[in-house]
Structure 1
Amino acid sequence: MTAVTVPCSESWNREQRAESPTQRLDRNWLCLLQELRVVLTGVQLLTGFLLTLPFQQRFSSLDGNMRGLYLATVACSIAATALLTAPVALHRLVFRRHMLSWLVTASHRLTVLGLLLLGAAVSGVATMIFEVLAGLAAGVTAGAGILTTWVLLWLALPLLARRGTRADVL
């Protein structure tokens, strides 16, 4: 992949998009909300599924390690849900306060952290399912494979793609 250098100034947004700094923030906020709409249903379903597991008959047969993995997984999923829904609460609480720049920046950071925890939760779920159905080796292999896939797609690929570029805001 070839990186594209983006000038670090408002002039690029004005020249290329004919938008003001406020319009750029509005666009960034709307893009972030659209991304959250995509991921929120999945994280909420995952969290709901995990919260029902202790009430299943076979849950009591899990050993201490599996219970620990379950607790870590459900904690990651709940934390991801909180972080990925936080931008909406932030928006409500700073609405009409002219804090859009802060809102976009804070929401971006919360979303990135929420996505990382979601990746950890999905890896934990895969580990649990494969271990229960196919044994410890299959569980560890599945969990490690899925975690590796998340890291490659959600961290390595975007970080590699953005090499040599700079953010368009200071």
Structure 2
Amino acid sequence: MVEHTGETKNERLTRNVSELLQELRVAQAGVQILFGFLLTVVFTDEFHEASGFEKSVHLAAVVLTVCSTVLLTAPAAWHRLLFRTGNRERILTYGNRSVLIGLGCLAAAITTTVALIAKVVFGPVAMTILGVVSGVLFVGMWFVVPKLIDGSGG
């Protein structure tokens, strides 16, 4: 059956999977840079002097980054393992969910990292302010604005 775009269902699914995998490349670059930064921090002398709270926040950022990496790379792995099984529609459905959760983890990881840096440099008040501002920016730009663009408004 040919859709209104002139594509068959299979062509549309193939294009959608390709678009999803391309989008993941953009997000994955940010995850890799953040992960590299977080990994190098633990090998500095300053990190060893950090408080238990700061080390815990750092570890939370690392765990969120790992979760983001897993969730954002899963659709590529699924596609590679399942691309000849005729499951493109299911790969897209589950892949979309995985990517949205992965983006949420990435936003939380970046927000946590920004908050930690603010805490170390300026103290707990700056940590709170910059953590909240970062979180609000992510939620707003990644999740609220698309709803406004779509016209559903919320």
Match of 1:82 among 37, 48, 70: 70
Whether 1:62 and 2:43 are equivalent positions in the alignment is: no
Match of 2:96 among 101, 108, 125: 108
Deviation of 1:164 after TM superposition, in Å, equals 4.5
Deviation of 1:144 after TM superposition, in Å, equals 0.9
Q: In the comparison of the two structures, how many residue pairs are matched?
A: 153
Match of 1:21 among 9, 34, 57: 9
- Structure 1 portions without partners, runs of 5+: 1-9, 166-170
Deviation of 1:163 after TM superposition, in Å, equals 4.8
Amino acid of the structure 1 residue aligned with 2:18: L
Match of 2:61 among 60, 73, 77: 73
> What residue in structure 2 maps to residue 4 of structure 1?
none
> What residue in structure 2 maps to residue 168 of structure 1?
none
CA distance in structure 1 between the partners assigned to 2:149 and 2:110 by the alignment: 24
**1 or 2 for the larger relative contact order (CA 8 Å, sep ≥6)?**
1
The two structures have a TM-score, normalised by structure 2, of 0.92
Query: Percent identical across equivalent pairs?
Result: 36
- Range moving further from structure 2, 68-77 or 154-163: 154-163
Structure-to-structure mapping, 1:35-46, within 5 angstroms: 35-46=23-34
> What residue in structure 2 maps to residue 3 of structure 1?
none
Match of 2:139 among 148, 151, 166: 151
Q: How far does the alpha carbon of each residue in 1:107-151 deviate from its partner, in whole angstroms, 9 at most, with x for none? A: 111111100000000001101111111111112111110011000
CA distance in structure 2 between the partners assigned to 1:93 and 1:28 by the alignment: 17
State the secondary structure of the residue aligned to 2:42.
Answer: helix
Question: What is the aligned-residue RMSD (CA, Å)?
Answer: 1.7
Amino acid of the structure 2 residue aligned with 1:79: C
CA distance in structure 2 between the partners assigned to 1:85 and 1:44 by the alignment: 11
Deviation of 1:162 after TM superposition, in Å, equals 3.2
Q: How far does the alpha carbon of each residue in 1:1-57 deviate from its partner, in whole angstroms, 9 at most, with x for none? A: xxxxxxxxx87xx22x11111111112111111111111111011112112221111
Deviation of 1:159 after TM superposition, in Å, equals 2.7
CA distance in structure 2 between the partners assigned to 1:23 and 1:61 by the alignment: 56
> What residue in structure 1 maps to residue 41 of structure 2?
53
In our comparison, the structure showing a higher alpha carbon Rg is 1
Amino acid of the structure 2 residue aligned with 1:38: V
CA distance in structure 1 between the partners assigned to 2:65 and 2:120 by the alignment: 20
